[in-house]
Structure 1
Amino acid sequence: MLIHPMVERLRGLGLTAMADAFIEMQNQSAADDLTREDWLGLLVDREATSRDNKRLARRLSQARLRQNAVVEDTDFRTPRGLDRALFHKLAGCEWISHSQHLVISGPTGVGKSWLACALGHKACREGFSVLYRRAPRLFAELATARGEGRLPRMLAALERTRLLIIDDWGPEPLTAEQRRDLLEIVDDRCEKGSLLVTSQVPVNRWHDLVGDPTLGDAILDRVVHRAHRIELKGPSLRKRHAVTTQSDQGA
């Protein structure tokens, strides 16, 4: 008779997972052998796990990662210049804790976006706020925000994000407005957050992308000189996958 009032009280306090665990344990005979401390510990663990999962789901939703990628599924067998030790170190997210940056470069199809999303997913799991944007979409949103008078608010929101992923930067040079916006974003992240940039364009050609020597020096000085770098190479994995799939279907 005491179960129902207890469950309702727990739910009223917002302890839904604890209430569900209480009902489950009441229906398990093995729970009769548990001490009161064990009972309480199991209930608290269930509530804590539920809240952690909800926070993770919220961070992943806000991150809007393009691909459903996780670091545990990373392909190290395909030869593309991916250093296993470096990637595992980056997956520990210590570089984000220290507000460092990461640049992933290489030709199209070698998995730059996938790796970026996998590291973004891991950052969410480690409790960091993440935001993924393809470079063209980011600059378009900044231009719209400027036209609507929301640019300071948008830049402030970007500044609060611990890991900002800018995917597929280049090969088109930046406009004057885009150069200023990028410098603002990079400058705001100094000692406050991390950038992960992917690009088909080699880093030694980024000055050409910026299109202004002075701003190029300012942007690269704040990003590249404090960044870990993954330089991928090799043929497109998409083509390899397509050939493999066609071969399997033919068999």
Structure 2
Amino acid sequence: MLSEEDFDLFRQFRVKAMGDMLRSMVDDPAFDGLTFEEKVKMMLDAELSARRDRKVSKLVRQARFKQPGACIEDVIYLPERTLNKDRLARYAQCDWVQGCEVMVIISKTGGGKSYLCQALGNAACRRLIATRYTRLADICDDLNRARAAQDGSYFEKMDAYKEVELLIIDDFMTTPIATQNAVDLFEIMEAREGRRGTIIASQLEPNEWYLRIEGELMADSILNRIATGARYIDLEGPNMRQYLAKTDKES
């Protein structure tokens, strides 16, 4: 007969899910007909699932999503949004991330680009892909502060942006960036090209990004590494903030 002290050992040994499954088997006669091997397999599956869930939760926290609950399953497919459900489901498989490709999501203000890029980021976390969500302005601020500190943190931060498996840059070129930040962005995209997956979300078309980058040569160098060969999602349709607010009010 197993005691509470016995079950507590599972927690101490850091296999709590196995202990919880064993407790269920002991308390529920429906499991009595299973063989010993079948019960062990169920305990192992429970522990494996629990560990995977914890890892996914950790990756979501580390991604720093503004909307951590954003997910592909909750994307709204209105006819006027020109968003293909099957296509998005394929993107959620993250083969393009494994292929180290660039995805560009473009929509006007309120069109849902931020939610969509975070939903795709969440899908990547579910597939155990390390992800980082940020805004371009925040990248510039982060690197500028580190550069000013002169404590070596600038290189650590640059490496983090260069090396994360999936980097999501939201609000891309919403405001102009100075020459030094353009150099930073070039170095990040150069390091990621063909080596890591990247999502760019913007209100502007790529041909408008030129106007936000100081220096024609630097602008060409950056955009060549982003726009050339990228996958594009052009979101049309209503302002989703207004749509959701109206829907909530009516419900």
Aligned to 1:56: 56
User: How far has the Cα of 1:226 moved from its partner?
Assistant: 2.9
Aligned to 2:75: 74
1:230-249 alignment to 2 at 5 Å? 230-244=233-247, 248=250
* Distance (whole Å) between structure 2 residues aligned to residue 3 and residue 245 of structure 1: 50
Aligned to 1:178: 181
* Distance (whole Å) between structure 1 residues aligned to residue 241 and residue 4 of structure 2: 56
User: How far has the Cα of 1:124 moved from its partner?
Assistant: 0.5
Superposed CA deviations along residues 104-133 of structure 1, whole A, max 9, x for unmatched, are 112111111011111011111111011111
- 1:83 corresponds to 2:84: yes
Q: Percent identity?
A: 30
Match for residue 163 of structure 2 among 150, 156, 160:
160
User: How far has the Cα of 1:155 moved from its partner?
Assistant: 1.3
The answer to whether the Cα contact below 8 Å between 1:173 and 1:209 also exists between their aligned partners in 2 is yes
User: How far has the Cα of 1:243 moved from its partner?
Assistant: 4.4
* Distance (whole Å) between structure 1 residues aligned to residue 247 and residue 85 of structure 2: 24
Q: Relative to 1, partners in 2 of residues 1:77 and 1:234: Cα closer, same or farther, differing over 3 Å?
A: closer
- 1:11 corresponds to 2:5: no
* Distance (whole Å) between structure 1 residues aligned to residue 218 and residue 16 of structure 2: 53
The answer to whether the Cα contact below 8 Å between 1:107 and 1:234 also exists between their aligned partners in 2 is no
* Distance (whole Å) between structure 2 residues aligned to residue 243 and residue 9 of structure 1: 52
* Distance (whole Å) between structure 2 residues aligned to residue 94 and residue 243 of structure 1: 36
* Distance (whole Å) between structure 2 residues aligned to residue 11 and residue 106 of structure 1: 48
Q: Relative to 1, partners in 2 of residues 1:234 and 1:4: Cα closer, same or farther, differing over 3 Å?
A: closer
Aligned to 1:119: 120
Letter in 1 for 2:218: L
Letter in 2 for 1:239: Q
* Distance (whole Å) between structure 1 residues aligned to residue 11 and residue 56 of structure 2: 22
SS in 2 for 1:197: strand
**TM, length-normalised to structure 2:** 0.91
**TM, length-normalised to structure 1:** 0.91
Q: Relative to 1, partners in 2 of residues 1:26 and 1:199: Cα closer, same or farther, differing over 3 Å?
A: same
SS in 1 for 2:61: helix
Aligned to 1:130: 131
Gaps in structure 1 of 5+ consecutive residues: none
Aligned to 1:26: 26
The answer to whether the Cα contact below 8 Å between 2:162 and 2:189 also exists between their aligned partners in 1 is no
SS in 1 for 2:14: coil
Aligned to 2:146: 145
Aligned to 1:226: 229
The answer to whether the Cα contact below 8 Å between 2:206 and 2:223 also exists between their aligned partners in 1 is no
SS in 2 for 1:174: coil
How many residue pairs get aligned? The number is: 248
Deviation beyond 6 Å, 4+ runs, structure 1 = none
* Distance (whole Å) between structure 2 residues aligned to residue 179 and residue 229 of structure 1: 23
Letter in 2 for 1:197: I
* Distance (whole Å) between structure 2 residues aligned to residue 26 and residue 41 of structure 1: 15
Match for residue 188 of structure 1 among 175, 186, 191:
191
Moved more, 119-128 or 17-26: 17-26
* Distance (whole Å) between structure 2 residues aligned to residue 78 and residue 208 of structure 1: 33
User: How far has the Cα of 1:66 moved from its partner?
Assistant: 1.4
User: How far has the Cα of 1:82 moved from its partner?
Assistant: 2.1
Q: Relative to 1, partners in 2 of residues 1:7 and 1:242: Cα closer, same or farther, differing over 3 Å?
A: closer
Aligned to 1:95: 96
1:30-41 alignment to 2 at 5 Å? 30-41=30-41
User: How far has the Cα of 1:245 moved from its partner?
Assistant: 5.1
Q: Relative to 1, partners in 2 of residues 1:45 and 1:140: Cα closer, same or farther, differing over 3 Å?
A: same
User: How far has the Cα of 1:219 moved from its partner?
Assistant: 1.1
